[in-house]
Amino acid sequence: MSDKYDVVVIGSGPAGYVAAIRAAQLGLKTACVEKWQKDGKMVNGGTCLNVGCIPSKALLDSSHKYHDAAHAYQSHGIVTGEMSVDVPAMIARKEKIVAQMAGGISGLFQANGVTSVFGSGRLLAGHKVEVTAADGSVQTLEADNVIIATGSLPINIPVAPVDNDVIIDSTGALELQEVPKRLGVIGAGVIGLELGSVWGRLGSEVVVLEALPDFLAMMDKQIAKESLKIFKKQGLDIRMGARVTGSEVKDGQVTVSYENGEGTQQETFDKLIVCVGRRPYTEGLLAPDSGVNLDERGFIFVDDYCATNAPGVWAVGDVVRGPMLAHKGSEEGVMVAERIAGQKTAMNYDIIPNVIYTHPEIASVGLTEEEVKQSGEPYEVGTFPFMAIGRAVAADQAEGMVKIVAHAETDRVLGCHIVGPSAADLVQQVAIAMEFGSSAEDIGMTVFGHPTFSEAVKEAALAVHGHAIHMPNRKKRK
């Protein structure tokens, strides 16, 4: 059997499903192929909805509520009794949210006229996609354009092979049915910090082992330093320069060996999460004559507009270069759908917000101070602590700061870096300003509501010129 479409998308994660919906909105006959199944049923939404962004945030929110009730309510005059955690109930709540969100995608497909095709897709020559269903039946979809959006998988390391029992990856860490007494985490990246926080808040003694010497090396240094200080105060044991060299599972526990400056060390844990990055998912995807090339790191090679080297074949999301972020893939999906429809859409890769959902959150957009310094452009920096923000003090969330980096001559905002309350939402304000080419002065002249956390953004912008009102300025300017 063969069906002809304008667009066939392979993968229904945030890159693929958004591409499919946008293509259908533009009047293109669109199908989306997905192989993920749960309990024998096709599941849309990819990593993000099923085992990534959404379930991790559900558990981050639940664990934060528990932690606040156990440790933070007293200072507000709220007296709680003895507290306990029902982990299976917490996990069941997360599952319900996941099912609700994934069901939402199916509803959106129906509403927009996207045809959902269940099975594993393989790109053949000539824009054909062979789909093998779970029962082994095969159909071929023909298309004028194919969009590959097959995402990524966790990286496995031979020194700590995942057994889905004692040694787990991020997916396993979202499914634990009890709080491990001692939890090891390999990798102090985004997942290590988020999932380490979840189980740490619920009572695990968490040790994070990170091979690199610097904490959050890709972040602005000042914000990374401030974040580390806060996490240490929270009791998260983060060991930098700790390279894991081996692991041994015995009697339901794992002993991890790692090397640091002082030699070989060992730690024993009840569970070990391996989160050392993700790799592009291309297994079984490309027939030898599909004409699509991979780059040297195994990602599908694409140009600035996500076109592969095979005409009419595009690739978006985690399976191509760039940050592995849901919103980055979604925007690529929109861009590609619109380009297929004949529009000239381009994506601004310079302004992609990045958030780590710890408490407090860490968020950034644009260039770090170090990157601007390295570029040789003259720049000014403005910082403002949440400690001087009334709303933050009232909420007992006064840790952290906002930092804005602006060009010294044009005053154009080049980057914003935040650790503090609602950092994810605050950084988005600056992302919008940057998208419109805003100067620090423009932000400083904008009227911000009082009292809000966002006043820290305004004050940091004012501080770029030494005009912050609610703290003494280091630079004194008229």
Q: Using CB under 6 A, list all residues that contact ligand NAD.
A: 157, 186-192, 194, 209-212, 243-244, 275-278, 323-325, 355-357
Rg (CA), the chain: 24
In angstroms, what CA-CA distances link 142 with 1, 57, 317, 352?
10, 38, 22, 34
Q: Which residue type does 329 have?
A: G
In the complex with ligand NAD, which residue's Cβ is closer, 143 or 173? Answer: 173
Question: Quick one: what does residue 291 bind among ligand NAD, ligand FAD, none, with the CB cut-off 5 to 8 Å set by partner type?
Answer: none
CB 416 within 8 A of CB 358: no
Q: Which has the closest alpha carbon to 10: 122, 114, 154? A: 122
Question: Quick one: what does residue 157 bind among ligand FAD, ligand NAD, none, with the CB cut-off 5 to 8 Å set by partner type?
Answer: ligand NAD
Query: Which is the catalytic residue, given 450, 465, 467, 470?
Result: 450
Q: Angle 14-25/87-112 helices, nearest 10 degrees?
A: 20
CB of 170 to ligand NAD, least distance (A): 7
Question: Quick one: what does residue 336 bind among ligand FAD, ligand NAD, none, with the CB cut-off 5 to 8 Å set by partner type?
Answer: none
In the complex with ligand NAD, which residue's Cβ is closer, 143 or 206? Answer: 206
CB of 420 to ligand NAD, least distance (A): 16
The contacts of residue 406 (CB under 8 Å, 6+ apart) are 379, 380, 381, 382, 412, 413, 414, 439, 440, 461, 464
CB of 398 to ligand FAD, least distance (A): 24
In the complex with ligand NAD, which residue's Cβ is closer, 223 or 310? Answer: 223
Question: Quick one: what does residue 329 bind among ligand FAD, ligand NAD, none, with the CB cut-off 5 to 8 Å set by partner type?
Answer: ligand FAD
CB of 477 to ligand NAD, least distance (A): 37
CB 397 within 8 A of CB 421: yes
CB of 205 to ligand FAD, least distance (A): 21
Please confirm, yes or no, whether 450 is among the known catalytic residues.
Answer: yes
CB 336 within 8 A of CB 316: yes
CB 22 within 8 A of CB 334: yes
Residue nearest to ligand NAD (CB): 189
In the complex with ligand FAD, which residue's Cβ is closer, 297 or 478? Answer: 297
Question: Quick one: what does residue 14 bind among ligand NAD, ligand FAD, none, with the CB cut-off 5 to 8 Å set by partner type?
Answer: ligand FAD
CB of 190 to ligand NAD, least distance (A): 4
Cis peptide before 451 (omega within 30 of 0): yes
Site residues, ligand FAD (CB under 6 A): 10-16, 33-36, 46-48, 52-53, 56, 120-121, 149-152, 170, 191, 281, 284-285, 317-319, 324-327, 329, 357
Question: Quick one: what does residue 11 bind among ligand NAD, ligand FAD, none, with the CB cut-off 5 to 8 Å set by partner type?
Answer: ligand FAD
CB 260 within 8 A of CB 241: yes
CB 91 within 8 A of CB 177: yes
Q: Are strands 354-356 and 361-366 parallel, antiparallel or unpaired?
A: antiparallel
Q: Which residue has tokens 């090397």?
A: 259
CB 404 within 8 A of CB 381: yes
Catalytic residue list: 450
